[in-house]
Amino acid sequence: MVGVSTDIDYAYGVLSVLDEVDGVAHLGLATSGGATPDGHVAHPYFLTAFVEYPWVVADALLMVARVARTRFYVPPNSLAAMLRAADPVVTATAEGVRFESFSACCGVYARLDVDADALDARHLAPGVTNVDVNPPLRQALASLRPGEPLRLDVGSESLTVTTFDASVVEEKVTLPKRWLKGFAETQVLSVGMILRYSLDKIDAVRFVQALPKNSPTRSVMWAAPAVRGLRLGTRPTAGAVCVAGPERLRALEPLLRHATGLKAYGPESDRSSSPMASAWVLEVPGGRITVALSPEKSRGFSGEGAVLPLLAGGDVAEDADLISAFLAFDPRIDLVRLATASGLPAKRVEGALAVLASSGQVGFDVTTGHYFHRPLPVNPDALATLHPRLVDAHKLVDAGAVTPAADGRVTVSSGGVDYTVRPSGSITDATCTCPWHAKHRGTRGPCKHILSAHIVSQGDS
């Protein structure tokens, strides 16, 4: 259930299991229940299907779950905290089924997409939940042999209740708040990525297997064309794709035996580029696996701040409410259609989608170049605690601490100190005299002073 907390608790009727019935492997993924587009639970399952490539799906699902349990970076002078179980989010649409997860450090995003053509679906309805991939299930998936059939049932019809004479089997799993922020950041960062390189199976295997198995915390490398495939260099070049903490990309290694190709996506780059996020898509029969890397190993997606400029728009919350009414588990969200249907300019539609992404409602697929709908049951009030910088900016505005000057500069009084914000054509290009901006120079999104100045300017306009 969802309360005022920004965590999401799911109750499972039973454990996920892999049984053998009449010689057929049967995978049942425990879920909190599927839902129809109008929000009503209509069936305890939203997907019942045999998969065309069971060995591939089993290995890929194991990889997505493994990423969720892995911490690729541990802060210095500290031990990694014991984390609560974080299990993949699964979404079913007319185009297939999608599993998503973040690493424990939130610096790696993993996604498995299984195409509808690779599913022999007996029941397929739109739905989303946080599935339970427990140790017995992982062991069962790992022991699946080539050629053995596999059936997916995302959901469960059984429920055990505890009474005086009986017991209830119920498991609660929490979706971490950092995952919600990570979903928002990866969506915004992915929009700016384009296909840079495409490798065949041989070159893909060679590239991934040649990646270092470990690297210094701030190790950032760049993938550029070589005589065959790609090579890693230590300096950015025009068109190169950033590979920060390159060993993190080795998460794809167990799936190389199934690979048919590898594609690299990234934003524009040149010799002066700073570290940036990248996305790598391993193509396999019946689907694909996406691994996105944060700009640095020590930087999780949840702290990038790329979504803040969009969230600081004037009527962005109201726009998000309007846009959400037009979404119905769309596997590919059409921005032009949304703009036409809502009467909003395209820029405001993008801002509305950013708000929805900040609560896990939409994502972005670099392979199709489209947003997709992922309606997690999140409390709308969670936005305030997810983005404290934005909350602080609004507090400065409400306190009258933002004073525009005739020359275009803005003075923001914060903590007894006056800071000067110099706006530019875009909020991402604005500068501030505060220590936070001096340290990050816009690489972690705008500071609260720039945000407050932008909010005031939006109100004036």
pLDDT of residue 193: 94
Backbone angles phi and psi of 100, in degrees to 5: -135, 145
The percent of residues above 90 in pLDDT, for the chain, comes to 36
Q: What is the DSSP letter of 67?
A: H
pLDDT of residue 304: 58
pLDDT of residue 159: 26
Last residue of a domain, one of 139, 174, 209: 174
pLDDT at 28 over 90: no
Residue 366 lies in a domain: no
pLDDT of residue 157: 37
Q: What distance separates the 2 farthest-apart alpha carbons in the chain?
A: 80
pLDDT: is 322 or 309 the higher one? 322
Last residue of a domain, one of 149, 174, 199: 174
Closest CA to 347 of 358, 361, 335: 335
Q: Are residues 33 and 131 in the same domain?
A: yes
Domain CATH number, residue 35: 3.10.150.10
Sorting pLDDT into bands at 50, 70 and 90, what band is 46? confident
Average pLDDT over every residue of 105-109? 91
Q: Are residues 460 and 401 in the same domain?
A: yes
Q: Are residues 263 and 163 in the same domain?
A: no
pLDDT at 303 over 80: no
pLDDT at 384 over 60: no
Top mean pLDDT of 20-24, 317-321, 363-367 is at 363-367
pLDDT of residue 130: 73
Q: What is the DSSP string of 170-227?
A: -EEEEE-HHHHHHHHHHHHHHHT-EEEEEEEHHHHHHHHHTS-S---TT-EEEEEE-S
End-to-end alpha carbon distance in the chain: 41
Poorest-confidence range of 3-7, 148-152, 423-427? 3-7
Domain count, the chain: 3
- Report CA torsion sign: 374, 380, 386, 390: positive
Residue 313 lies in a domain: no
Q: Are residues 118 and 184 in the same domain?
A: no
Q: What is the DSSP letter of 261?
A: E
Q: Say how far apart CA 386 and CA 379 lie, in whole Å.
A: 11
Q: Are residues 205 and 290 in the same domain?
A: yes
pLDDT in tens, 245-279: 999 999 999 999 999 999 999 999 999 998 999 99
Please list, in sequence order, all residues whose beta carbon lies within 8 angstroms of the beta carbon of residue 376, skipping any fewer than 6 positions away.
Answer: 8, 89, 128, 175, 180, 359, 360, 361
Which residues are paired to 439 by β-bridges?
none
pLDDT of residue 160: 28
Strand positions, DSSP E, 190-347 = 194-200, 220-225, 230-233, 241-244, 261-266, 278-284, 287-293
Average pLDDT over every residue of 179-187? 80
Average pLDDT of every residue of the chain: 80
Burial class (CB in 10 A: 0-12, 13-18, 19+), 34: buried
Q: CA 17 from chain center: how many Å?
A: 26
pLDDT at 59 over 80: yes
Poorest-confidence range of 184-188, 272-276, 375-379, 390-394? 375-379
The pair of three-digit structure tokens given for residue 290, joined into one six-digit string: 């996406």
Last residue of a domain, one of 129, 150, 174: 174
Q: Are residues 155 and 203 in the same domain?
A: no
Please list, in sequence order, all residues whose beta carbon lies within 8 angstroms of the beta carbon of residue 74, skipping any fewer than 6 positions away.
Answer: 80, 105
pLDDT in tens, 214-235: 988 888 999 999 988 999 999 9
Please list, in sequence order, all residues whose beta carbon lies within 8 angstroms of the beta carbon of residue 300, skipping any fewer than 6 positions away.
Answer: 105, 106, 107, 178, 182, 294
pLDDT at 4 over 50: no
Average pLDDT over every residue of 67-76? 81
Q: Say how far apart CA 189 and CA 157 lie, in whole Å.
A: 39
Which pTM value belongs to this model? Answer: 0.80
Q: Are residues 224 and 87 in the same domain?
A: no
Average pLDDT over every residue of 101-130? 87
Q: Is 219 left (phi over 0), alpha (psi -120 to 50) or beta?
A: beta
Sorting pLDDT into bands at 50, 70 and 90, what band is 85? very low
Domain CATH number, residue 223: 3.10.150
pLDDT at 371 over 60: yes
pLDDT of residue 262: 98
The domain of 252 spans: 180-301
Q: Say how far apart CA 375 and CA 254 lie, in whole Å.
A: 31
Q: Which stretch of DSSP H or E encloses residue 8?
A: strand 8-12
pLDDT at 106 over 80: yes
Sorting pLDDT into bands at 50, 70 and 90, what band is 165? very low
Q: Are residues 191 and 168 in the same domain?
A: no
pLDDT of residue 15: 64
pLDDT of residue 285: 96
Residue 60 lies in a domain: yes
pLDDT: is 11 or 28 the higher one? 28
pLDDT at 453 over 80: yes
Average pLDDT over every residue of 12-30? 63
pLDDT at 154 over 80: no
pLDDT at 60 over 50: yes
pLDDT of residue 286: 95
Closest CA to 289 of 235, 318, 251, 315: 251
Evaluate whether 386 touches 181 at the Cβ level (below 8 Å): yes
Q: Are residues 14 and 128 in the same domain?
A: yes
